[in-house]
Every structure is written in C-alpha cells, then in structure tokens.
Amino acid sequence: MSDKILIFDTTLRDGEQVPGASLTRVEKLEIAKQLERLNVDVIEAGFPISSPGDLESVKEISKALKKPIIAGLARAVKKDIEACAEGVKPAKHPRIHTFIGTSDIHVKFITNTTREEVLRRSIEAVKLARNLCPDVEYSAMDATRTDFDYLCKIVEETIRAGASTINIPDSVGYSEPGEYGNLIKRLMNTVPNVNKAIIAVHCHNDLGLATANSLAAIQAGARQIECTINGLGERAGNASLEEIVMTLKVRKDIYKIDTNIKTEEIYKTSKMVTRFTGIPVQVNKAIVGQNAFSHASGIHQDAILKNDSTFGIMTPKSIGIIGHEIVLTARSGKHALKHRLEELGFKFSDSEILELYGKFLEIADKKKEVFDDDLMALMESVGKKGTEAIYHLDYIYVATGNKMVPTATVRIKVKGKDEQAAAIGDGPVDAAYNAVNEILGEKDVKLLDYQIRSVTSGKEAMGEVSVRIRKGGTEVNGRGISTDVIEASVKAYLDALSKIERAKKVKI
Ligand code: MN
C-alpha cells in the first residue's frame, strides 16, 4: 500500500464534460502544466476516442509533461483502448484507464448483456491495455450499486489480468461516508490479491458528500483519489481536489497521511481553471471561494487581529493567496508589479511590464489600493488569459435612458481590421449585443445566461460579467471585466464568441 495518497486529477476529462466548459487545446495544455506545478500524481488528460481533437490534446499533453502519469480514458472496447494507447504513447509515464458498468442496471440497460459477459470483457480489456501500456487502471463503473460478491470477483480477475490500479467509483453520487468506507474496507478484506493493486475512488457530489466519501475511503485503505479543481464535473461535480488535500493537511492528526501536492499552487490553479472554463466558483466554496478566508463578524475580526488561530484553521498563504501584507499603490514600482504578477502565475518581459505598468497606474490612481483581483482583472482586460481573443472591443458608445430607445455603437477589431455598427435594443446591453451581431453577421446566437457581479472592493470596483451562449450545437461561457458594466458585458460576449470561433478551428 502506498504511504502517500495519490492525487489523480480529472479536471481535463470529467471536469471538461460540464456543459459550456469546453476548453481549447491551448487552454488544456496550460492547465495540464499548472497541474504539474501543483504536483498531482496523475492527470487524466482526456477521452481520446471521443473526438480527434481530444486525441490530439492528450498527445500534446503527453509530449509536454515529464513528471506526472498521463492517463487517458477508454471504454472496455478495442477501438477505445487503441485510441487511448496512441494518445498517451508519447508520455514518459503513460496510463490507460479502462472502464465498464458493473451494476445490474448498467449491465442490463447500457451494455445489454450479462454479468458473465461484463466480467469477460473487463478481463479482455485489461489484457489488451496491458499489451499496449505497462500501467493500466480499471474502473468498475457504478461500483456502489454493484452486487458485492460480483464486484469482488471483478476486482480479483482484473488485478490478475494486469491492472495495477482498481477504481471503485461512486459514479452516481449515491453513497454516504459510513457505507462507502465500509464497502472499501470489506473489499480490501475479501479480495485475495488486493495488495497487488492500488484501490482508487472517484466520488460525485450529487448529495454534497463527494469529499466526505473520499475521506472515508482513505480511512478504509484507498490510496488514489480522483478529483477535480473547484469540484468541477458531471452534474453536481466531482470531489474537489483542494478540499481533500487541505483536509488531509489540516487534520493530519486524524488521517496521518500526506499527498505530494504543493498546496501553495492551489489558488493559482483554481483561478486558472475558472478563467479558462468561464465557470465561476461559488463565493462560499470551501478553500477557494472568495469568502473562504474573510471574516465578516466584528467579534471574529477583532479576535483574528489578536491571533490568527482564533478563528482561522489554515492560512491563506498555505494555498497560495498572497499579497495580504503588502498593498500595491500608485507609488509601487515596476519591480513590485512584476513580482506580484509572477506570484499570480504570469510571466512578462521587462518591456511588457513597462507597457502594463501604465495600465496599472491608471487603476492605482482611481482605486488607491490595487488588490490581486484587480490585477487578475487587468490581465484579462489586456487579453492575457493564456489564449488570445479573436475579437477585441475597440470602442463603445451607448445612449440610454428611461424615455429613449437604447442605442449602441460598437467598434471591434476582427483579425486586425476595425469593424463598426450601431443598433438599438431593449436595454443598453441588448443594443450593444445587437451591434456586435450586426458586425459579425451573427443571426443564431442564443444568450442562455447573463450574470453580473463586483469582483473587487470599493466604489471603483471592477464589474465581472459571465455569459453563456449557444450557437449551433456548441455552448460556451464567456467572461468580461471592466469598471464599466456595459463594457464588461460586451467583452464577455466577445470572449464567448471567440471561444466558439476557436472551437471551430480546433475540431478536426
Ligand atoms: Mn465521473
């Protein structure tokens, strides 16, 4: 049994299956590199058979990363396993992760066959995968609703066939901690060759129990935890990496086992995943939510000032939130700015910093104190999100009022060329969006969701707008940030349209 908890991150596979999350190849690679810095043990990079784009992306990540194991997902069928093997082949440490549903309901309605046949296919899939790759993981999908004796048989036989990691997922998020811990414990006590493999768990959060279930499994002997950044994933999401890792760290007195995670990289990774997927983190989310470390009650504030530990159980610094001590102002120099941006994960040359410094001073003049969120907003406003936007907002003029028809004039840069249009609408945002549609000749874009919130503090706070749009069959999220909410709205819309445009190019 491993003396560490192995962290298997599936943000790029399960997390990416969230509607609207669709990441481009460049974004996936950037996230994978950040996951390597976070020091996860395994990165599930994709599901190679699902699309040629996904296969390419898994290959790219396999080539670029040296440290973690790169896994690809494959159903227990030949063509999936072969595509997966091709995808992870360039990796220094490749893994094929193959799965099949083992509960009666999956056997009957998904595979349309018998338990005996599922067992046979599982063994065959693992053997085939082992011929193509030395490291094979097998998942008994819907394990928590699988007959126990049958599950033991499956685990025993797939280990014998060559799987070195066996995953017992709670695919439907139905289990609860006592029951799940007990399942893992019974399994470990029953399967005769169980010590030849690492037992993994993959929990979903349908009842809000994914983290608790994963921790119960650890106490019962599971040694690989499958999870995602910000708890992204199908439906209510997966177990959240940051919650599991920080619980093991903060409550080491109980769990007595470590992970390899560099916790100081958690916040940066969370921010990057939010930026690229466009899916915001709820403000009260454990560990990475905006309010996770803010103390609103006067009594608590007073106590915290006297001693950190009065109400804080971990420091913001431990997850990489920095800059609480030093405040950037208009008097801060270029070096201070560069240093802080580096801490936030951005690297710039001296000449780039010079250019950014001017923009930084504009904000500093308005706001007096510049916080990390202001800098993140600045990075987004200059298009430093890791990928370049295709459409840039150049100019916007909006006239609106209670007794007039809202009118907007918008000019955007499309491939370096200025294009302009004016339009009316039901409100100023609608008018501006109509003008954008006019310029780009868009007729069938549907706005599914529009949200606005303030991201930084004070009267001059930056407003952040998140939109979700659908065009054809593609759904994407877009975000825009500005001190002006109409401008932020147009930026969010252009960000989403740029994503759709990029997705077109990426899909082969
Ligand atoms: Mn899943």
Looking at residue 280, what DSSP letter applies?
Answer: P
**Cα-to-centroid distance, 381 and ligand 1 (Å):** 34
The whole-number pLDDT of residue 472 equals: 83
Centre of ligand 1 from the C-alpha of residue 94, in Å = 20
d(CA 7, CA 42) in angstroms, rounded, equals 6
Contacts of 416 (CB under 8 A, 6+ apart): none
Q: Are β-strands 69-75 and 42-46 bridged in parallel, bridged antiparallel, or unpaired?
A: parallel
Instruction: Using the mean position of ligand 1's atoms as its centre, give its distance from the Cα of residue 17 in Å.
Output: 9
Per-residue pLDDT at 474: 79
* Residue 154 to residue 145: CA distance in whole angstroms: 14
Distance 238 CA to ligand 1 centre (A): 7
Cβ atoms of 396 and 490 closer than 8 Å? yes
Distance CA 414, CA 128 (A): 49
pLDDT at position 383 is 62
Contacts for 404 with CB less than 8 Å, ≥ 6 apart: none
Name the CA radius of gyration of the chain, rounded.
25
For residue range 82-110, list pLDDT tens digits in order: 999 999 999 999 999 999 999 999 999 99
Residues contacting residue 334 through CB under 8 Å, at least 6 positions apart: 350, 353, 354, 357
CA angle (100 as vertex; 95, 103 as ends), nearest 5: 140
d(Cα 341, Cα 354) in Å, to the nearest integer?
Answer: 13
HSE-CB at 344 with a 13 A cutoff on CA atoms is 23
Match 């997902």 to its residue by tokens: 73
Q: What residue ranges in 112-152 does DSSP mark as E strands?
A: 136-141
Letter for the amino acid at 427? Answer: G
DSSP-derived pairing of the beta strands 407-414 and 42-46: unpaired
Residue 327 tokens, joined: 């405040």
CA of 90 to the centre of ligand 1 (A): 25
435 close to 422: Cβ distance less than 8 angstroms: yes
Ranges of residues in the chain with a pLDDT under 50 are 325, 386, 506-508
- Ligand 1 centroid to residue 45 C-alpha, Å: 14
pLDDT at position 386 is 47
Whole-number percent of the chain with pLDDT over 70: 91
CA 170–ligand 1 middle distance (angstroms): 8
CB-side exposure of 22: number of CA atoms within 13 Å? Answer: 25
